[in-house]
A and B are shown apart, each in its own frame.
Chain A
């Protein structure tokens, strides 16, 4: 009979009218590895913040080690041995490895003086617990993401963790680093420490989890042993629908010039020998793990991190793309991965965000911005892309994720690009908006744009693209026509390739 460590009963939580969690109940047993799965916006992060006491639930109770908490405070959660490793790790980049690991302990003990010997001893012991060796005197800011994560885990160990929650821990890790992490997770389990692994990557879930809990739109939809679940079942539960059959039909024959042709494009340290053609009306998907070079390829085409070898041809003409300005000159637009920091000016108006690329067409003869033209332009795009707002003068941060993404797309469309690269176009977008954004993308291709979609969302790629390219370790390893392959087969193939990296 396994002992229950944490029990969350009927947890509900809403923010300003949005129901983030609805009657979610969950048990975590001592020494088990549970995976919490769900799309962005499904309520995963809210749930984590509730069990570590950052948010108070509107309803429900939390029982830890048999003790019932109606109002769990962060300090209670830490005392009970719950340690959360957030994606930003909360480390001090300017301090040493040893100090980062031992600081919590020293503060908690109310130490006034620093004994460097003790600090190193504590750190050494914590690192030994996960069987990792790191230079104790190195500055954390200079270490790789993987090492930072290991430091964060050691710090959690050092505080007698009973349950370690890892929020999307593999996002920025290489394959090898992920293996190390898996090994550590298994080691912790053997010592009776429970792990709650938060992820949306199916392969990880299958490799690690003993139990899978799936959230969708704030409700728990699945809670069962991992063995009883298939990939398809997980995808279905996460998204709430099977992979749609409506594929993108690319009918125009590939005659004449390709819009974009890459010949053995390489960038040292990022990707190598990438060659493919993009024809007008095509939507090409590029997928692969993080670190496979997919984003780097997009950034090279967009001139942000230029390629150092190979040729890029637009309309058959070899072009040099050494800066973002070069890319724009050749009609290439880029919708970035991180919408909030790279795509939008959050505090500025929706309108300003839309016209940032097209402003030069909105000037009057004396070089001033023509207010009427600007207003018309903004209205046009708000209408065309169905951006739901009462007033385009409102700050863009007031919009939902889906509408924000439409603003970023509108920004590029307003500059009349010929090639549009979308990186993670529906990350953090609700299900309804997702379908509409897919519709917009398909519509653009039908008007003759060439589109590249970078994503790790397989159903999305299957629905939107006519062709999917698989990248692995910086190289293009396979290419599929979506109409020639069944969803499941592709999914298996991708998982197999990625998983067996």
Chain B
């Protein structure tokens, strides 16, 4: 109950948006925006020669995309009060199967191979998601356990197919991971497009509205005639689809698919969601926050690398910095919540 009362309404006002209102209802977004700008300024001052350059921004955009897409996949499941731990396994499984298609069909007809590979991914991802949805919505297993099981299962299927080896793609496919349009990396365009589409779905459609309500109070949503099972199914299918798209980008970028690729991505994606203001208990948070959190973390990683360029371990320091950032954000939220409550009780 106490937990529930700390939450605030996040519905964007219809028609009249004042700055005051925005600050009040979107404290997380504003805070994140400040962090993003501060980090950019900080690292630009520390490394004016390297950080604020086109090349660097381009390279950061390349790196941020696949994990950003996975974070959005986790975010939508978190909004329903669940979680999807199987995102990375789904991404790798689809990448493996797509790579197999590319390997077999590619030599004779690259174009056909690419169409088939992408088509396969768009089918396999949602199937993986649908199985998660089935376990969560129909069997009733807590999402964290259901997707822990499928994480292992999907990885297992991939291992059986590949015998643990990497499957290589074809050069033509690499454009998906390394190509650019007008200097903007294609993966980043895909990430922004996905963020925009998912953001609009969540904030403007009936389904999105139902996701938030289900995450706020599943009992009330059932009694309001919302088909909880259907909303959950659709959410996990969407999560599977997004994971598959991330898998395709990974395949394109690395030109290879491995079942154990990027094992730290799952926890990283959850971390980005929480930093981005998605409440793990459900019902609260926006995709915009996730995008900002992703950018903030990327600035932090790259900036750390550059600021500590003399050290070979800079890459590792960013991992520590991410963890520290998460803990600091948690503390800041704790104290700002407490202050707000004190203000309310003083009234």
- A positions within 8 Å CB-CB of B: 16, 304, 324-325, 327-328, 334, 336, 341-349, 351-352, 356-357, 359-360, 363, 367-369, 371-372, 374-375, 378, 393-395, 397, 411, 415
In addition to A352-B209, A411-B224, 19 A-B residue pairs with Cβ atoms within 8 Å of each other are A324-B222, A334-B223, A336-B223, A344-B220, A347-B5, A347-B284, A348-B213, A348-B283, A356-B209, A356-B221, A356-B224, A356-B226, A359-B209, A367-B205, A369-B206, A371-B15, A372-B15, A394-B9, A395-B8
In the bound assembly, the distance between CA atoms of A397 and B217 in angstroms comes to 13
**Tally of contact residues, B, Cβ under 8 A:** 32
Q: When the two chains form their complex, are residues A349 and B347 in contact, meaning their CB atoms are under 8 A apart?
A: no
In the complex the two chains form, what is the Cα distance from A395 to B205 in whole Å? 21
Chain A residues with CB under 8 Å of B14's CB are 351, 371-372, 374-375, 378, 393
Contact at B8–A368, with CB atoms within 8 Å?
no
Interface pairs (5), CB distance under 8 Å: A328-B225, A356-B225, A367-B206, A369-B205, A393-B13
Question: Does B204 reach chain A (CB closer than 8 Å)?
Answer: yes
* B212 located at the interface, meaning its Cβ lies under 8 Å from any Cβ of chain A in the complex: yes
In B1-59, the 8 Å CB interface with A consists of 4-5, 7-9, 11, 13-15, 21
| Contact, CB under 8 Å: B213 / A369 | no
A residues less than 8 Å from B225 (CB atoms): 324-325, 327-328, 356-357, 415
Task: Judge whether B4 and A347 touch: CB under 8 Å.
Answer: yes
B residues near A374, Cβ cutoff 8 Å: 14
Residues A360 and B206 in contact, CB atoms below 8 Å apart = yes
Q: Which of B8, B206, B347 contacts A363 (CB 8 A)?
A: B206
- Inter-chain CA distance A9–B21, complex, in Å, is 46
Measured between alpha carbons, how far is A343 from B4 in the docked complex, in Å? 15
Report the minimal beta-carbon distance from A175 to chain B, rounded to whole angstroms.
28
B184: shortest Cβ distance to chain A, in Å? Answer: 27
* Residues of B contacting A328 in the complex (Cβ-Cβ under 8 angstroms): 225
Please report the C-alpha to C-alpha distance between residue A336 and residue B334 in the assembled complex, in whole angstroms.
34
Contact status B4-A346, CB under 8 Å: yes
Q: How far is the CA of A153 from the CA of B273 in the complex (A)?
A: 46
Produce 1/0 per residue, B259-296, CB < 8 A to A: 00000000000000000000000011000000000000
CA distance A372 to B15 in the complex (A): 7
Nearest chain A CB to B228's CB is how many angstroms away? 10
Please tell me if the beta carbons of B223 and A348 are within 8 angstroms of each other in the complex. Answer: no
The 8 A CB mask of B220-248 against A (1 = contact, 0 = none) is 11111111000000000000000000000
Residue in contact with B9 in the complex, picked from A334, A336, A342, A349, CB distance below 8 Å: A349
**A-B pairs with lowest CB-CB distance, top 8:** A375-B14, A347-B7, A371-B14, A368-B204, A395-B9, A345-B216, A349-B11, A328-B225
Give the residue name and chain of the B residue nearest to A339 (CB).
Answer: B220
A348–B224 Cα gap in the complex (Å)?
14
A367, B206: Cα distance in complex, Å = 8
A415 to B219, CA, bound (A): 19
Q: Tell whether, in the assembled complex, residue A357 and residue B206 are in contact, meaning their CB atoms are under 8 Å apart.
A: no
The answer to whether B200 has its CB under 8 Å from any CB of chain A is yes
B7 contacts which chain A residues (CB < 8 A)?
Answer: 347
Chain B hits for A360, CB < 8 A: 206
Contact in complex: B213, A347 (CB < 8 Å):
no
| B residues near A372, Cβ cutoff 8 Å | 14-15
Q: Mark B302-341, 1 if CB is under 8 A from A, else 0.
A: 0000000000000000000000000000000000000000
Task: Give CA–CA (A184, B322) in the complex, Å.
Answer: 60
Complex alpha-carbon distance, A397 and B5, angstroms: 9
Q: Determine if B8 and A341 form an interchain contact, defined as CB atoms under 8 angstroms apart.
A: no
What's the minimum C-beta distance from B271 to chain A, rounded to whole angstroms?
A: 24
* A393: B residues at CB distance < 8 A: 9, 11, 13-14, 21
Which residues of the other chain, A, contact B5 by a CB distance below 8 angstroms? Answer: 347, 397
User: Taking the nearest CB of chain B, how far is it from the CB of A367, in angstroms?
Assistant: 6
A345 and B204 contact, Cβ closer than 8 Å, known pairs A371-B14, A393-B11, A395-B9? no
A345–B212 Cα distance when bound, in Å, is 10
Given A371-B14, A374-B14, A393-B11, A341–B206 Cβ distance below 8 Å?
no
Contact yes or no, A341 B220, CB < 8 A: yes
Roughly how many angstroms separate A33 CA and B219 CA in the complex, as a whole number? 38
A368-B200 in contact given A347-B7, A347-B283 (Cβ < 8 Å): yes
